[in-house]
Amino acid sequence: MAQLTDDCFAFGGRLLPLAEAQARIAEQFHCVAAPETVPLPSALGRVLAGDVIASVSIPPQANSAVDGYALHHADLLPDAPTTLRLSGRATAGHPLLAPVPRGAAARIFTGAVMPEGPDTVMMQEDCAATEDSVTVPPGLRRGANRRPAGEDIAAGERALPDGKRLTPPELGLLAALGHTQVTVRRALRVALFSTGDEVEEPGRTLRHGRIYDANRFMIAAMLTTLRVEVSDGGILPDRPEPVRAALTEAARDHDLVLTTGGVSSGEEDHVRAAIEAMGSLAFWRVGIKPGRPVALGSLGGTPLLGLPGNPVAALVTFITIARPVLDRLAGAVSTPLPRFSVESGFAWRKKRDRREFLRVLIEDAAGRLRARVFPKEGAGIITSLTGSDALAELPEGVTTVAPGDTLACIPLGLLYG
């Protein structure tokens, strides 16, 4: 990354649009995590290192989707019931080894392998059966209730792509393909600091003019959901020398150094100054609210990301800036934040060319989802995160919201793993 020479992001200068900030992340950061093989139960949240190709088909053989009778469709009369003699019985795990001849049907159960010959299954509820025969009504389509081999995935197909972050369904698919272990990218190592003389460790006596540190615990938990190894660097004081020393040391043996606070334009904000003095700055001040003062750069080749000190701003910039950085470093394919549409139950005005994230509560209004703004708006209001359901995202081009407008909302619960 090039050293920032003209301060176009200085206080009062141009705010970098969020999309442009994310594009710079994609351009300037690359995977640093080497592959390693881990047991399947340890792979949750990890990032695949290479495509997974199916070595077997799922299901391996054609099977029945229902309890019923396996038969030859060609035996059925088109406009009248057909009576077939019974020939054999197939259950899940116990296939019928003998072929079923024409004019006959086999009793079959859900998941049982289709016997040789039949191509269709009639549900037992729709049949009239005796001890040695079954009568099938007309109208059954060929292949009904039969699952073909490889219906889910065929041997030789790509089951999972390189860079996929593994969730419980992916682990289930890997197990269904017979895997007991999987090759993933090693966990990233992140050094995490809070900054500020006003910040106190929880558990200690709270001195006058101080607040307990919330950011470090919240961001560490967010990192943990991404299966990141977090080194707790504690709280850095508002003095340039200790800040520079701690960041330099952490950059030597971590994949990312992450801080909260100290990135604004005040005289006691030393994180951004440290990046500029000792490394390079990719950007500072992004056009989002809350979260404008966010600095991304590098020290000695290690990315350093400074998030704002207000907890709400720290969370918003984590999901919009830190998450894409972590995905790039981990070799993960970035996926869009989950969003759902709701009706606005409020009016709002905002500045153009800035993306705004409002904390909202979601209510059921006569069968429609409706959002209302959390009553306390400040970026330091932690209860606005614990008490809200979602973030309503207002794009740069939007300047007003009226009741009844459609809003895109990011569900907070899905962000926490």
> Greater confidence, 91 or 1?
91
Nearest-CA neighbor of 291 among 321, 323, 257?
321
Nearest-CA neighbor of 185 among 368, 33, 68, 75?
33
Percentage with pLDDT > 90 across the chain: 86
pLDDT at 267: 55
Give per-residue pLDDT as tens, 172-194: 999 999 999 999 999 999 999 99
pLDDT at 275: 83
Percentage with pLDDT > 70 across the chain: 95
Backbone angles phi, psi at 66, to 5 degrees: -145, 170
pLDDT at 269: 66
Give per-residue pLDDT as tens, 278-289: 888 888 889 999
In CATH terms, the fold of domain 63-147 is: Molybdopterin biosynthesis moeA protein; domain 3 (2.170.190)
What is the mean predicted confidence (pLDDT) over 140-147? 97
Give per-residue pLDDT as tens, 245-302: 999 999 999 999 999 987 665 555 678 888 888 888 888 889 999 998 899 999 989 9
DSSP states of 171-228: HHHHHHTT-SEEEEEPPPEEEEEEE-TTEE-TTS---TT-EE--HHHHHHHHHHHTT-
For domain 18-33+187-330, the CATH architecture is 3-Layer(aba) Sandwich (3.40)
pLDDT at 3 over 50: no
Task: Compute the mean pLDDT over every residue in the chain, rounded to the nearest whole number.
Answer: 93
pLDDT at 365: 87
CB distance 298 to 280 below 8 Å: yes
pLDDT at 7: 39
Tokens of 93: 């795990």
Domain ranges across the chain: 18-33+187-330, 37-58+151-185, 63-147, 340-416
Write the class of the CATH domain 37-58+151-185: alpha beta
pLDDT at 327 over 90: yes
CB distance 223 to 230 below 8 Å: yes
pLDDT at 4: 35
pLDDT at 64: 98
Task: Tell me the whole-structure pTM to 2 decimals.
Answer: 0.88
pLDDT at 264: 63
Q: At what angle do helices 18-28 and 323-330 cross, to 10 degrees?
A: 20
pLDDT at 40 over 90: yes
pLDDT at 32: 97
Nearest-CA neighbor of 48 among 163, 208, 141?
163
pLDDT at 213: 95
Please state the CATH superfamily assignment of the domain spanning residues 340-416 in this structure: MoeA, C-terminal, domain IV (2.40.340.10)
pLDDT at 389 over 60: yes
Backbone angles phi, psi at 244, to 5 degrees: -65, -40
pLDDT at 366: 86
pLDDT at 9: 37
pLDDT at 11: 44
pLDDT at 178: 97
pLDDT at 271: 82
pLDDT at 316: 97
Given pLDDT bands bounded at 50, 70 and 90, which one contains residue 5?
very low
